[in-house]
């Protein structure tokens, strides 16, 4: 059986096909699994996590509040930037980012591994990352709806199709978890 192939020409030159595309810093793969985006997020977050760990190790008396603020300002924005896209990703990908948050919270509080994640969240005030990303994405979406009629119209149309359950949309995640 012959495979359907096509080529795209731009200014007289063939445009090569690619399995990934980066748009505004977000990596889209051809199957929309978000795996390349999560790899990129994790790599950037690990570098900054190591910075927090290094600061902690150099401080005579590390202040958990300052370390938490560093986490909030250095690592969380990495996760938030593409939250509108990635919140419908497979749980395995979101768990990778949650592991980074767990490591950061352990470093902030100087807690050993046997301390439960729930206790870490309770004493630091940070919610599990998935819920934070859903909340953040909802706030951004609400803001975009208020400020742009271009966004409000498709969101309204989505409400008419919301009953369709195949291929979960980020909007499904936002509106079903609030």
Q: pLDDT tens across 2-36, in order?
A: 555 777 888 988 888 888 888 899 898 888 889 99
Burial classification of residue 117, based on how many CB atoms lie within 10 Å of its CB (0-12 exposed, 13-18 middle, 19 or more buried) = middle
User: What is the percent of the chain with per-residue pLDDT over 70, rounded to a whole number?
Assistant: 86
**Per-residue pLDDT at 88:** 86
Domain hosting residue 89, numbered range: 9-129
**Per-residue pLDDT at 154:** 77
Tokens 């950061």 locate to 104
**Per-residue pLDDT at 105:** 95
21 inside domain = yes
DSSP letter string, 34-74: -HHHHHHHHHHHHHHHHHHHHHHHH-SS--HHHHHHHHHHH
86 inside domain = yes
77 inside domain = yes
Looking only at the bridges linking them, the beta strands covering 8-10 and 13-15 are: antiparallel
**Per-residue pLDDT at 142:** 85
Helix (H) or strand (E) holding 83: helix 83-86
Q: How many CB atoms lie within 10 A of CB 124?
A: 20
**Per-residue pLDDT at 163:** 56
Is the Cα dihedral 78, 47, 113, 108 positive or negative? negative
167 inside domain = no
- Rounded Cα distance, 94 and 115, in Å: 21
18 inside domain = yes
- Per the structure, how many domains does the chain have? 1
**Per-residue pLDDT at 1:** 46
143 inside domain = no
152 inside domain = no
3-state DSSP assignment of residue 27 = strand
CB 148 within 8 A of CB 141: no
The residue among 150, 145, 41, 30 whose CA lies nearest residue 87 is: 41
Q: How many CB atoms lie within 10 A of CB 81?
A: 16
163 inside domain = no
Point out which residues pair with 13 in neighbouring strands: 10
For 40-96, the pLDDT digits (tens) are 999 999 999 999 999 999 988 999 999 999 999 999 999 999 998 888 888 999 999
């Amino acid at each position: 059986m012959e495979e359907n192939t096509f080529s795209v020409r731009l200014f007289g030159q063939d445009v090569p096909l690619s399995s990934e595309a980066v748009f505004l810093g977000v990596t889209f793969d051809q199957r929309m699994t978000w795996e390349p985006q999560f790899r990129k997020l994790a790599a950037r977050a690990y570098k900054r996590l190591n910075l927090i760990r290094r600061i902690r190790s150099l401080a005579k008396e590390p202040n958990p509040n300052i370390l938490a603020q560093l986490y909030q300002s250095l690592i969380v924005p990495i996760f938030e930037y593409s939250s509108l896209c990635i919140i419908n990703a497979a749980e395995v990908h979101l768990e990778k980012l949650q592991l980074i948050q767990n490591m950061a919270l352990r470093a902030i509080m100087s807690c050993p591994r046997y301390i439960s994640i729930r206790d870490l969240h309770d004493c630091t005030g940070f919610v599990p990352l998935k819920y934070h990303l859903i909340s953040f994405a909802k706030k951004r979406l609400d803001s975009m709806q208020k400020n742009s009629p271009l966004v409000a119209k498709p969101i309204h149309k989505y409400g008419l199709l919301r009953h369709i359950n195949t291929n979960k949309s980020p909007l499904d995640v936002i509106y079903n978890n609030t």
